[in-house]
Amino acid sequence: MLKSKTFVKKTRSGGVMKVVREHYLRDDIWCGSEVCTECKQESTVLQKDACMESSLCSYPHYLVPDTNVVLHQIDILEDPVICNVIILQTVLQEVRHRSAPVYKRLKDIIHEKEKHFYTFTNEHHRDTFIEREPGESANDRNDRAIRVAVKWYSQHLKTFESDTDGLKVVLLTNDQGNKQKAQDNGLLVYKCEEYVKSLIANPELVDRLALSSDDKSEITSSKVLFPEHFPLSRIQTGIKSGSFLQGTFRASRDNYLEATVFVQGEGEDSTEVLIQGLQNLNRAVHQDVVAVQLLPRSEWVAPSSVVLQDEGTGKDDEDAEEEEGNLRTAAAEAARKPTGKVVGVIKRNWRPFCGMLNVSQIKESTRHLFTPADRRIPRIRIETRQASTLAGQRIMVAIDGWPKDSRYPNGHFVRSLGGAGEKETEEEVLLLEHDVPHQAFSQAVLSFLPKMPWAITPEDMMKREDLRPLTVCSVDPPGCTDIDDALHCRELENGNLEVGVHIADVSHFIRPGNALDKEAANRGTTVYLCGKRIDMVPELLSSNLCSLRSNVDRLAFSCIWEINHKAEILKTRFTKSVINSKASLTYAEAQMRIDDTNKNDDITKSLRGLNKLAKILKRQRIEKGALTLSSLEVRFHMDSETHDPIDLQTKELMETNSMVEEFMLLANISVAQKIYDEFPECALLRKHPAPPPSNYDILIKAAKSKEVEVHTDSAKALADSLDAAKVDGFPYFNTLLRILATRCMMQAVYFCSGMDSDFHHYGLASPIYTHFTSPIRRYADIIVHRLLAVAIGADTTYPDLMDKHKQSALCNNLNYRHKMSQYAQRASVAFHTQLFFKSRGILNEEGFILFVRKNAIIVLIPKFGLEGTVFFDSKDKVSPNIVFEEEGPTLSVEQHKFHIFDKVKVTISLDDSNIQHQKIRMALIEPVVRKTKTELLTVKKNKTPKKQQKLC
Amino acid sequence: MAGLELLSDQGYRLDGRKATELRKLQARMGVFTQADGSAYLEQGNTKALAVVYGPHEMRGSRSRTLHDRAVINCQYSMATFSTAERKRRPHGDRKSTEMSLHLKQTFEAAVMTQLYPRSQIDIYVKILQSDGGNYSVCVNAATLAVIDAGIPMRDYVCACTVGFVDETPLADLCYAEESGGVSSLALALLPRGGQIALLQMDARLHQDHLETLIEAAMTACKGVSKVLDEVVRQHLQEASVLTGE
């Protein structure tokens, strides 16, 4: 049957266009149910005995949620209890338009076989397609379409009633009108809440219900607390006319009544608008995109330096107003900043938040406040009946809405992560808070993995160079299972050396555009936590098929040079290959082989050759001005059973570390040059911009205090002066100085060559650089592999690879993921340090002053690579006499004067008074500044400003 | 807003067709009596009228005369009312010139021009309503018109456009699909021998996919040829009833 669809559409330029489309209605769309004998379907999704025990529906039934139920209650649908659900095409389309994340989650559920979700293409079905009636809104039509489809299903299934003990279809909707109409049509219809509450087996599910808008009024008092948000149309005109500004809302970490809105202007010109006071904040939440209106200049204020934490008891109390009064301290005219108020929210950026429950004082109460771990997020009011079990646990909560008469946003419980302070829970929390995707890979992703048992096929062999006879070996840290690089070195007949770097050929397994590729692109990088790894690609690839383990044939992408004994490159060649690694060594093992003069086998000879060349290469690189920076990295010795840290050690570097690194750098640079030559517009490169001179101020000042001069005009000058910087009797000085220098650096970033003109890598002193050598753990490398494969004609290209805008967007995601993974890594180290000190009790250690601040010193303890702040003033004690001098900088506390690099002795202990934010407490014991015990406060360790730099 | 989903997970396209299904094809031959041959053809919402004059002696510049075969002269045009927005389309704009040329090439391969030396065959095609696949619809309409004119051809020429989405070839694209960023390919086929009269593609597509795409196009063309064959037989039957044979 043929129908013509006619509708008008507004074009981008504002004109109105008529669109006529054909619409074919089919009679071959099947119902997908096991019981049906009428439909000629090949496979069925919906089960015959669809049993979800419910007190409302005592018969087996299929659920049909409407669009709003899917959008708001996706948490419920994801629960394993809910299965045998029919997702109508109307619903799927609407969800797709309204929320991309929910759409993705829904699709993942549909793919999962155990959930028995069936997509019914009702819009193309002859009996369920309906036309929009005159005067009917699009939403009403869709609601009607859903009802018609449900009706069709119930009639369709009725024919088989005899052998299915009354299988029925149940419509779930939260819309009162829709429900009424459905009942009039004789359909079985329930509100989502009613239904979920009726589920016998799973009473906990109720807490995961999101609050729908008509319930909100019950929860809050009638008093209006916030001004109304403007409608979107008004905001848009306001932004166009310039009376409103659009920007990202960033709440302050220290003061819940203050926030800034970052307004992105044209080019570099962006401003920050200060927002102060609950009324002006007007229900915006951290990271929302908001519209702000500037206040008249006379009402501008300065950011307050007060630390305020929301301590409200859950009532819509008046305390806030009092506190707001405190903020308005008279500020100098100069310190005042543009101040505004939020008039509307353009886009909410709510995600589920981790945190803990503040159990209400009233015992029977089901409404509780939830305190997120991130201090920038306001507290959320949730409803739960399991408060007593949830207390002391880390839980996740999603915000549902923030009505104008409620002091706090309303939310619902999503899931529990486990007891606070437990290792698994805390790990989960830090992954979630750093936005690290760490769920198990979905079925859709896993379906693109090669089938086991996997073997190299003859076709693979045809296209690849057979390098299996070569003596290839890999050198990695101990316990490494994702080996992505291997090396070889051999003497050629003409006396030169042939050196090969062989990288796991991940792009052979991950084909562009499929679900596996998309997942990897989204994850961006593998995240290494202490004792745990969050893989970018499924384990089958990362630890098996791609890992270049010893004595198995593996696919590789090889970069082979002919090098003479002066380490000059004569020839470079890239090829896809098959290798068979002869040994997987650790750094220490490799070092032993090199040092052991009795050993003379092929592997050892190869290693010695590599080592010799690496030394020359390194020297050359340093001569060119590459920096050797230092940052303390610690390694935990884990108890093999409890996985608790039992010892802490700073990482040791061996010659072999630098040997491997040197060749990886060489490969990366060679590849970068090749892909840039081949694709000047769309090569994915990595750059490290030179820091602005002002960044070095602190380094120069610090060095000067020890009468050492540091030149920062160029990387080379810096490297040289760092090498020369030595103070007698202070062997650690050089390392400290390098740590400081590291903090001055900028972040290295990925970029697309067509979008930028500055390619220089400052830290490595290379004009061009990219990442090629770790495709198992970095997505950037996969793209580089693809580019290189196209460049040498080994693989095919695809449109997105050549699109510089798409690639630039990808780079942004990769940069973000890398940054987050580094933060997560540090947070993990911090957490394990806490665990370590928890078991150790109080320790006294020597340390050095790294920075001097106005009221505190920052101390570094080299033994643990631990950094902490020692404060000299505090809220409730009389503060000692402190004098801070900018020049120097020095800090005099009573009689003692602290300089940068001073040696101090501190005592370290764990402060667990606040269970959500445990921290390492550091207190000074030597030199003694006061007779009385100095009152010392610390800042959470992972909050200390660390700007570490990963150079490669 | 998310873009259009050209192919759903369940395998349905925007208009409810499956990947290999053609649009509804309807045609009539002999719609005009003054021309030597004519046909009207609808493929979904794309509608075309084809008229054939000839073979007749050379008109206009005699210098173009070929001594061993007939010259084929094609003219393609679009009605001002053929799209959603009324637009004047003067003759000889680049798009229609190109299209005319393609049609000419197609029919030179199919019509047995060597039977009519020193003569000319005119094929005029007009798109009355455009909804994607203009070229193919023109070819199909013109084939019927040529047959109606009684000019011998090697075989029917059947054309179809195919696009490539999510690793799947889609047959007979409509306008929404054509404009949705699909790499599309137009193919004119002489179905019985499987010879390709014209193959045109101006989008990016990887070499590896070309074969599957051509394969899909050929299958689609064969589908078209079946319908055209039926139309011709139907027309013959009607004509023979009228003439009382």
Is residue B169 over pLDDT 90?
yes
Same structural domain, A474 and A582? yes
Q: What is the pLDDT of residue A877?
A: 54
Q: Does A315 touch chain B (CB under 8 A)?
A: no
Is residue B116 over pLDDT 50?
yes
Q: What is the pLDDT of residue A562?
A: 92
Is residue B71 over pLDDT 60?
yes
Q: Which residue on chain A is closest to B2 by alpha carbon?
A: A97
In a domain, B9, yes or no: no
Are A2 and B24 in contact (CB < 8 Å)?
yes
Q: How far is Cα of residue A767 from the mean position of the Cα atoms in its chain?
A: 30
| pTM summary value | 0.66
Burial environment of residue A597 by CB neighbours within 10 A (0 to 12, 13 to 18, 19 or more): exposed
Report the distance separating Cα B205 and Cα B165, nearest Å. Answer: 11
Residue predicted with more confidence, A386 or A154: A154
Report the distance separating Cα B238 and Cα B30, nearest Å. Answer: 11
Are A107 and B9 in contact (CB < 8 Å)?
yes
CA A149 vs CA A471, A583, B11: distances in Å: 66, 63, 19
Which amino acid is residue A34, in one-letter code?
E
Assess contact for A192 and A201: CB atoms under 8 A: no
CA A851 vs CA A153, A394, A855: distances in Å: 71, 35, 11
Q: Which residue on chain B is closest to A94 by alpha carbon?
A: B2
Same structural domain, A522 and A459? yes
Burial environment of residue A573 by CB neighbours within 10 A (0 to 12, 13 to 18, 19 or more): middle
Same structural domain, A64 and A199? yes
Q: How close B120 gets to chain A, by Cα (Å)?
A: 39
Same structural domain, A760 and A819? yes
| Run of H or E including A831 | helix A804-840
Using CB atoms, pick whichever of A4, A24, A96 lies closest to residue B5: A96
Taking contacts as CB-CB distances below 8 angstroms, the residues of chain A near B8 are 89, 121
Is residue A134 over pLDDT 60?
yes
Using CB atoms, pick whichever of B24, B176, B208 lies closest to residue A21: B176
In a domain, B45, yes or no: yes
Same structural domain, A54 and A96? yes
In a domain, B14, yes or no: no
Q: Does B210 touch chain A (CB under 8 A)?
A: no
pLDDT tens digit sequence for A800-814: 888 888 888 889 899
Assess contact for A778 and A510: CB atoms under 8 A: no
ipTM of the complex: 0.88
* Cis peptide, bond prior to residue B169, ω within 30 of zero: no
Same structural domain, A764 and A728? no
Q: Does B57 touch chain A (CB under 8 A)?
A: no
pLDDT tens digit sequence for A686-717: 988 888 887 787 788 777 777 777 887 777 88
C-alpha distance across the termini of chain B, in Å: 62
Report the distance separating Cα A433 and Cα B75, nearest Å. Answer: 66
Are B204 and A23 in contact (CB < 8 Å)?
no
In a domain, A447, yes or no: yes
Is residue B204 over pLDDT 60?
yes
Same structural domain, A554 and A518? yes
Which amino acid is residue A926, in one-letter code?
E
Are A24 and B208 in contact (CB < 8 Å)?
no
pLDDT tens digit sequence for A246-263: 888 888 777 778 888 888
A220 band by pLDDT with thresholds 50, 70 and 90: very low
Least confident range from A152-161, A595-604, A863-872: namely A863-872
Question: How many domains are there within chain A?
Answer: 6
pLDDT tens digit sequence for A191-208: 888 888 888 777 677 777
Q: How far is Cα of residue A204 from the mean position of the Cα atoms in its chain?
A: 29
Mutate to test the interface with A, among B6, B8, B46 (most CBs of A within 10 A): B8
CATH code for position B162: 3.30.230.70
**Residue in A915, A910, A902 with CA at minimum distance from that of residue A941:** A910
Q: Which residue on chain B is closest to A800 by alpha carbon?
A: B204
Q: How close A18 gets to chain B, by Cα (Å)?
A: 6
Q: What is the pLDDT of residue A313?
A: 45
Report the distance separating Cα A509 and Cα A246, nearest Å. Answer: 43
Q: Whole domain around residue B164: which residue ranges?
A: 25-241
In a domain, A831, yes or no: no
Q: Does A21 touch chain B (CB under 8 A)?
A: yes
Q: What is the pLDDT of residue A651?
A: 64
Number of Cβ within 10 Å of residue A367's Cβ equals: 14
Taking contacts as CB-CB distances below 8 angstroms, the residues of chain B near A89 are 8, 10
Report the distance separating Cα A254 and Cα A672, nearest Å. Answer: 44
In a domain, B139, yes or no: yes
**Residue in A597, A631, A591 with CA at minimum distance from that of residue A611:** A591
Mutate to test the interface with B, among A10, A22, A92, A121 (most CBs of B within 10 A): A22
Same structural domain, A648 and A768? yes
Using CB atoms, pick whichever of B12, B176, B204 lies closest to residue A124: B12
Report the distance separating Cα A634 and Cα A829, nearest Å. Answer: 8
In a domain, B105, yes or no: yes
Q: Does B179 touch chain A (CB under 8 A)?
A: no
pLDDT tens digit sequence for A730-785: 777 777 888 888 878 888 889 888 888 888 888 888 889 999 998 998 999 999 99
A144 band by pLDDT with thresholds 50, 70 and 90: very high
In a domain, B6, yes or no: no
Q: How close B51 gets to chain A, by Cα (Å)?
A: 27
> How long, in residues, is chain B?
245
pLDDT tens digit sequence for A482-539: 888 899 988 888 888 899 999 999 888 888 888 889 889 989 899 888 778 888 888 8
Assess contact for A525 and A818: CB atoms under 8 A: yes
Q: Does A305 touch chain B (CB under 8 A)?
A: no
pLDDT tens digit sequence for B233-244: 999 999 888 887
In a domain, A31, yes or no: no
CA A272 vs CA A244, A279, A307: distances in Å: 13, 19, 20
CATH code for position A153: 3.40.50.1010
Least confident range from A278-287, A769-778, A925-934, B27-36: namely A925-934
In a domain, A628, yes or no: yes
Is residue A216 over pLDDT 50?
no
Q: What is the pLDDT of residue A630?
A: 63
Mean pLDDT of chain A: 80
Average pLDDT over residues B202-206: 84
Q: Whole domain around residue A397: which residue ranges?
A: 350-420
In a domain, A832, yes or no: no
Q: What is the pLDDT of residue A346?
A: 86
Mean pLDDT of chain B: 90
Are B24 and A123 in contact (CB < 8 Å)?
no
Number of Cβ within 10 Å of residue B193's Cβ equals: 9
Using CB atoms, pick whichever of A25, A107, A796 lies closest to residue B16: A25
In a domain, A946, yes or no: no
β-strands A882-885, A866-871: how paired? unpaired
Report the distance separating Cα B137 and Cα B152, nearest Å. Answer: 20
Q: How close B140 gets to chain A, by Cα (Å)?
A: 20
Are B176 and A26 in contact (CB < 8 Å)?
no
Q: Does B17 touch chain A (CB under 8 A)?
A: yes
Burial environment of residue B195 by CB neighbours within 10 A (0 to 12, 13 to 18, 19 or more): middle
Are A23 and B16 in contact (CB < 8 Å)?
yes
**Residue in A234, A357, A346, A214 with CA at minimum distance from that of residue A284:** A346
Q: Does B243 touch chain A (CB under 8 A)?
A: no
pLDDT tens digit sequence for B1-28: 346 788 888 889 988 889 999 998 999 9
A88 band by pLDDT with thresholds 50, 70 and 90: very high
Beta bridge partners of A294: A340
Same structural domain, A659 and A589? yes
β-strands A645-650, A634-638: how paired? antiparallel
Report the distance separating Cα A832 and Cα A634, nearest Å. Answer: 11
Q: How close B36 gets to chain A, by Cα (Å)?
A: 33
Same structural domain, A726 and A752? no
A221 band by pLDDT with thresholds 50, 70 and 90: very low
In a domain, A433, yes or no: no
Are A21 and B15 in contact (CB < 8 Å)?
yes
Q: Does A794 touch chain B (CB under 8 A)?
A: no
Question: How many domains are there within chain B?
Answer: 1
Same structural domain, A725 and A659? no
Same structural domain, A732 and A773? no
Q: How close A540 gets to chain B, by Cα (Å)?
A: 25
Q: How far is Cα of residue A59 from the mean position of the Cα atoms in its chain?
A: 44
Number of Cβ within 10 Å of residue A612's Cβ equals: 16
Q: What is the pLDDT of residue B2?
A: 47
In a domain, A538, yes or no: yes
